[in-house]
Amino acid sequence: MSVSEKKEITVAEARRLLMDKAEELDPLQRRVLEYTIRFAKLDSESAKEIVEELMKEADIDRGLAVQITNAMPASVPEIRTFLGRQRIIAEDTMNKILGIIDKYRVEE
């Protein structure tokens, strides 16, 4: 597999890309595929939609949107863990992020 484009993607999107090339994966790529199968919380289309919606509606960058989508936090304090000290986001924006995530949440 060669690099054709470089951007942050969700675990679910990585799973789809690896599944498409499953026959030609090397051992490390197969381990990554196993990881994505185990830990992806959504299908790739839903994950892609959440990332786009978070970027548009909550005005956050793609990297942060991908991290939030991968973790699917269930509360505002959980969302704060992704922000660290470098970024302060208003409480209403964090509630908006949580609302977007809740629309796509799959009950386990």
pLDDT tens digits, residue range 10-66? 999 999 999 999 899 999 999 999 999 999 999 999 999 999 999 999 989 999 999
pLDDT at 4: 80
pLDDT at 1: 59
108 pLDDT more than 90: no
Q: How many CB atoms lie within 10 A of CB 90?
A: 8
Domains and CATH numbers, the chain: 44-104 (1.10.150.80)
pTM value is 0.85
pLDDT at 8: 94
Higher pLDDT, 31 or 83: 31
Distances (CA, A) of 13 to 10, 78, 84: 5, 23, 25
Residue 97 CA to residue 81 CA, distance in Å, equals 13
CA 39 to chain centre: 11
Q: Which two tokens stand for residue 12?
A: 């679910």
Residue 99 CA to residue 97 CA, distance in Å, equals 5
